[in-house]
Structure 1
Amino acid sequence: MNVISSLFQDQKKNKGNLKGQIILFMFRFAQLANRHILIAVLLCIYLAFYHVFIEWFLGIELPRKTRAGKGLVIYHGQALVVNQGVVFGDDCILRNSTTIGHKILKDGTFSACPKIGNRVDIGANVCIIGNVKIGNNVKIGAGAVVIKDIPDNCTVVGNPARII
């Protein structure tokens, strides 16, 4: 994935959403450090600033190692928590107070992180945890708790999430 082309597509998708544009610009720039250890060393001060500004001041955990396709949209980014192992497809939408990551298994180890398809619209206060796969063109309603795979082209709501 080309970080620069993703940057411009993110900016276009977040038109009129200045906070989302700033967050995603900083996120994509921080992702440059993933390409080579030398780049990471050169960007170490920026990476520290990214961590402090995004996580501490804006209240968003979006690690630079998170894999996100082009056209990511973040609305009202407050209290957004994304694990670095999460994989997003293209044109996904994230809203506030959403948690996406692994879960702790009975033996104390961690599960794999969710893999989210293309054009997934994730509502506010959603939890997606564990080794789940979210299909393409899925809408996840506000407050849903997703703990099982979701097929393509459907809408899910509730706790636990169910297809409607």
Structure 2
Amino acid sequence: MNFFSYLFQDRQANRKNFKAQLVLFMFRLVQLINRSMLLKVIFILYLLWYRYWVDWVWGIELPRKLTVGKGLSLYHGHALVVNQGVVIGDNCVLRNSTTIGHKKLANGSFTKCPVIGNNVDIGANVCIIGDITIGDNVIIGAGSVVTKSFPSDCIIVGNPARILEKKNEDIS
């Protein structure tokens, strides 16, 4: 993938949302800068500006070490918090007031972060925490609290989250 296609890989997924396009362009640029210590030194002011503007002004925490596939879509990105250890697959949707990260254990240590598959649609006010895996083609309903792993091709809702519906396989 060339430099420009890397920077604009999320543009099509956010066609009518200029703010999301701008945030994701800035995020992808920060990821490129993060690959080299020399680039980090040269672009230290940009890294600080990104942190200030995106994290503090817009309230969207997308750390530079976050692993995200192509085609990420943000809807109303306010109060969006994603831990840097999270892995998000291709063509996923994140909505406002969503938190994705690790869980603190009783002994003071932390679990690993969630791994989210491809084509996952995450509703508003969702909390996904702990060392869990969300399969591909999953829809997570608004307000769900996800603390355990779920398979591919299902719709999950509730607090605690449970499978509402499994998507049917082709019957041949």
Percentage of pairs with the same residue: 62
Q: Does 1:151 align with 2:151?
A: yes
Matches within 5 A, 1:11-90: 11-90=11-90
In structure 2, stretches of 5+ residues that fail to align are 165-172
Runs in 1 of length 4+ with deviation above 2 angstroms?
A: 1-9
TM-score under structure 1 length normalisation: 0.96
The residue matched to 2:40 in structure 1 has which SS? helix
Which structure: larger Rg? 2
Q: Contact 1:6–1:71 (CA<8 Å) still a contact in 2? A: no
Q: How well do the aligned residues superpose, as a CA RMSD in angstroms? A: 1.2
Q: Does 1:114 align with 2:114?
A: yes
Q: Determine the C-alpha separation between the residues in 2 that align with 1:154 and 1:3.
A: 35
Q: Does 1:97 align with 2:97?
A: yes
In structure 1, stretches of 5+ residues that fail to align are none
TM-score under structure 2 length normalisation: 0.92
Q: Determine the C-alpha separation between the residues in 1 that align with 2:135 and 2:82.
A: 18
Counterpart residue identity of residue 59, structure 1: G
Q: Determine the C-alpha separation between the residues in 1 that align with 2:30 and 2:2.
A: 13
**Which residue does the alignment assign to 2:138?**
138
The residue matched to 1:136 in structure 2 has which SS? coil
